[in-house]
Structure 1
Amino acid sequence: MTENALKSQKRILTDATMTSGNLLPNNTPKKRKLDVDEPSARLSVPPRSSAPKSFGSSQMQQKSRFEEDLEKLTQDINGLKESNAEKDQQWDRPPLGDFDPAKDNLCFQQIDVEEGESNGHTAVKLFGVTEKGNSVLLHVEGFRHYLYIAAPVGFHPEDVKPYTTFLEQRFGMHERMIHSVNLAQKENLYGFQGNLKSWYIKITVTEPKHIARLRNSLEKSIANYNYKGLWPSGDDGGIVTFDNIQYVLRFMIDTGVSGMSWVEAKAGDYQLVPEAKRQSNCQIEASMPYSSLIAHSHDGEWAKMAPLRILSFDIECAGRKGIFPEPNQDPVIQIANVVTRYGESKPFVRNVFVLDTCSLIVNTQIFEFKDEAKLLAAWQQFVQKVDPDVIIGYNIANFDFPYLLDRAKHLKCQQFPYLTRLPKIKSEAKETNFSSKQMGNRDTKSTNTNGRIQLDLLQLVQRDHQLRSYTLNSVCA
């Protein structure tokens, strides 16, 4: 369902409601006869004003606290429009304008990093947002994984090339696995070594998937990989390897990229991905070699934040009395959403997707649906249209996301699971386990939303506060 189709069903209440006064004809006063012995006769009833009300007079109804809070959200809305390129309740991101990759540097705050593929080889995907609010996916290519082993006594620089050939013969039976072998001086951090550096052999593989096989082979079977018998064959059975680090983390360490940091690609160092090869729905999708990537530290000018879009949502289910909602039986009757840009005090999107009908809500779009499957499909399109960078909620990890996915599966709403920034990747809820000294062992669920950050406020409250109850009412009290 497109945004225009949704807007045809929306209802907006912009001002406080007014109700006309009750008209009582003067010639027909309302009388009531009471028995003196009845308890109600002993109640003190204030006298009703006998002054007649003129036709057309009105009386202001007292607003609830909820209505007052909603009205405050849109006060000074004209100032919000003037200070931003986007209008109130406009879902789309700001346009790129005159962006020219041949002249303009690509600078953005990265919010999510993951392993991916570009041009047939492993690459690192950097998702982020520019200072103007445009979404970006940058494929960083050419970074290769590696490990270290201590160089044995008798291993010299002239042995590097023969040792490379030796490893290729052992591992490269079906495809090339070893990219290069080099000698480097490093210091072992395990135990005090007197700040002395020793020689280590750096073995780089062609693809990250080969690093596990290389490590296991060297550590468990020294007899087959003992070049010239230089390593002693003891009871330990293998060669000690160093830096058992995941590929993405190794990339971030070597390039200086830290969490939520700003990165930059100079004009001419990156190329836009052709439309036919695009993997995401980001406004800018480009690729570049990792050696040209500039990572800025969180200091001075680069301590700023991009105008991240933050979606806060909550669902309501029509559960049966005394039974916790089950996705194969109980429908989703409401999904409420608020979208805010980081640094702004007022949200620019406020809407509710409801099953059947709903009363008017001040300054809020209401989208009504007769069919639950259409409601879920429309909400999925809303998420893709508004394109949030951060998704927050209360207990969304263990309830909202898994329930929506299971309910959509039950209703055979096939398009719903595509909530990520990668149109071909589905969101799936999986069982995970979290363990720490502070919180102990916790069984939880994790739903992938590639390119978007998730923040479950329940987990944040459980980490920072010791409460007897973590229900939303208890936390907000």
Structure 2
Amino acid sequence: MDNKKRGFGSFGNNKANTAKQSFTKTKTFNANAKTNESQTQHKKPRPNDDNNDDDFDDTMDEDMDFMSQEMPDEDMDALDENFSAPESSETHTRWCRPKRGDVDPDADAIVFQQIDIDSYIGPIRPGMPGPADGVAPIMRMFGITETGVSIMCHIHGFAPYFYIPAPNGFTKDNCSPFMEKLNKHVLQDMRGNSDNIENAVLAVELVQKQSIYGYRGYVKIPFVKITMCLPRLIAPAARILSNNSAFSTDGIQSYESNIDFDIRFMVDTRVVGCNWVELPAGAYTIRPAEQMDSRCQLEVDIAYNKFKSYEPEGQWSRIAPFRVLSFDIECAGRKGIFPEPEMDPVIQIANYVIRQGERDPFIKVIFTLKDCAPIVGHEVKSFDDEKKLLNAWADFVRECDPDLMTGY
């Protein structure tokens, strides 16, 4: 597998400093040791395209016979049936992220490279900008610091908006009545109001903008900027203005009502893909562990107009030490049939984890069903049934906490 292929996504891990816990049979190969016949008797080369069908069938029959054999009890003595994903424990020091260290939000700035941005609808957080009550859209930014610490940043106060051309004679004095009228129609148009929204329209402003429809030179004309409380309310508001005779007999054309909310945020705050972001000291708050929503080592809250976004130039063109997990899953197969989970068990999952900027993987581990001969320079973890194998691999992924994952 090519370790250099990269995709984007990030989830973190919040781990306490607890004792390591062994949970599977692990073997590390000594290159100077001799491999005995019993360790290799079941290790068969894969049939290539030149083998005939009879050889392939024989190979698969033998493989299935091997997987049905019982593993010696002593090989699984270390397995704890109640062992769960390492939410708050470290089972392998080499797999875990570095400790985050103490962070003083009043004195320390946090600088990280963001690799993913999305948004969600959440409650208003005290001390953050936004509506006075109810729910609001909150941006969510995932990233990695220069020391490899994972972070999730909740960004508050950015609201969706769109424009309409200002009607003839429209002045600033008309903004408030227009907002109340539109808010009433939007609330009436809602089929349900589970969020108990009272102020669907947050603001109406008169601004000067330039239309790209037709050629008008560089002349700016008056527009009405309409800010909504939720992204999903922009479409009905634009439809009401276009079709409802209470606002215009000819309908009002909307501008920029179909721009994705996340893209709107990135454009307005000058955030570009995978750039570096700084949270200045005194501008953010750290969430306590009981309020964290993710597995990131650090979660913070900040206003949308308080963080700094750097263009990817000069020192800000470097890349954080992202953890890249490359994995390959192999299943027992049947002739001419693509593996099915009900019939064909997973027999091995091979994993390489490399830190961006380093030459060699720092984790090389393979999870296998039943026993397996040692592999030079790799950890081999063997399990007596598929469920234990898959659970252990899930534990591994959560604990090594990859930022990027690649596979076939």
State TM-score, norm by structure 1: 0.63
2:142 corresponds to which residue?
A: 127
1:198 corresponds to which residue?
A: 221
User: Please, what is the CA RMSD of the aligned residues?
Assistant: 1.9
Match of 1:253 among 267, 290, 294: 267
Letter in 2 for 1:15: A
1:147 aligns with 2:159: no
SS in 2 for 1:223: coil
1:13 aligns with 2:29: yes
- Alpha-carbon distance in 1 for matches of 2:20, 2:261: 40
Checking the alignment, whether the CA contact within 8 Å between 2:333 and 2:339 is kept in structure 1 is: yes
Residue 19 of structure 1 and its aligned partner are, at CA, apart by 7.6
Gaps of 5+ in 1: 21-87, 395-477
- Alpha-carbon distance in 2 for matches of 1:388, 1:150: 48
2:172 corresponds to which residue?
A: 157
1:270 corresponds to which residue?
A: 284
Residue 160 of structure 1 and its aligned partner are, at CA, apart by 1.4
Match of 1:182 among 205, 209, 212: 205
User: Between Structure 1 and Structure 2, how many residues are aligned?
Assistant: 315
- Alpha-carbon distance in 2 for matches of 1:17, 1:159: 86
- Alpha-carbon distance in 1 for matches of 2:383, 2:175: 69
1:242 aligns with 2:255: yes
Greater RCO between the two (CA within 8 Å, min separation 6)? 2
What's the CA shift string for 1:254-290, capped at 9, x where partnerless?
A: 0011100111111111001122211001001010111
- Alpha-carbon distance in 2 for matches of 1:114, 1:285: 15
What's the CA shift string for 1:219-257, capped at 9, x where partnerless?
A: 2x2313x1xxxx4x34xxx32111121111111110011
1:107 aligns with 2:111: yes
The change in CA–CA distance for 1:19 and 1:4 in structure 2 (over 3 A counts) is closer
Checking the alignment, whether the CA contact within 8 Å between 2:154 and 2:302 is kept in structure 1 is: yes
1:309 aligns with 2:323: yes
Letter in 2 for 1:193: R
1:329 corresponds to which residue?
A: 343
- Alpha-carbon distance in 2 for matches of 1:256, 1:380: 37
2:49 corresponds to which residue?
A: none
2:381 corresponds to which residue?
A: 367
- Alpha-carbon distance in 2 for matches of 1:168, 1:211: 12
The change in CA–CA distance for 1:103 and 1:117 in structure 2 (over 3 A counts) is farther
Residue 89 of structure 1 and its aligned partner are, at CA, apart by 7.2
Percent identical pairs in the alignment equals 40
SS in 1 for 2:203: strand
Residue 97 of structure 1 and its aligned partner are, at CA, apart by 2.2
1:92 corresponds to which residue?
A: 96
The change in CA–CA distance for 1:9 and 1:313 in structure 2 (over 3 A counts) is same
Checking the alignment, whether the CA contact within 8 Å between 2:186 and 2:240 is kept in structure 1 is: no
Residue 100 of structure 1 and its aligned partner are, at CA, apart by 2.2
Checking the alignment, whether the CA contact within 8 Å between 2:182 and 2:237 is kept in structure 1 is: no
Higher helix share: 1
Residue 168 of structure 1 and its aligned partner are, at CA, apart by 2.4
- Alpha-carbon distance in 1 for matches of 2:32, 2:255: 68
Gaps of 5+ in 2: 1-18, 37-91, 125-135, 189-196
Residue 297 of structure 1 and its aligned partner are, at CA, apart by 0.6
1:439 corresponds to which residue?
A: none
For 1:224-235, list aligned pairs within 5 A: 224=246, 226=247, 231=248, 233-234=249-250
- Alpha-carbon distance in 1 for matches of 2:245, 2:35: 91
Checking the alignment, whether the CA contact within 8 Å between 1:89 and 1:349 is kept in structure 2 is: no
The change in CA–CA distance for 1:118 and 1:131 in structure 2 (over 3 A counts) is farther
- Alpha-carbon distance in 2 for matches of 1:161, 1:286: 35
Checking the alignment, whether the CA contact within 8 Å between 2:95 and 2:400 is kept in structure 1 is: yes
What's the CA shift string for 1:380-427, capped at 9, x where partnerless?
A: 111110000000112xxxxxxxxxxxxxxxxxxxxxxxxxxxxxxxxx
- Alpha-carbon distance in 1 for matches of 2:313, 2:357: 19
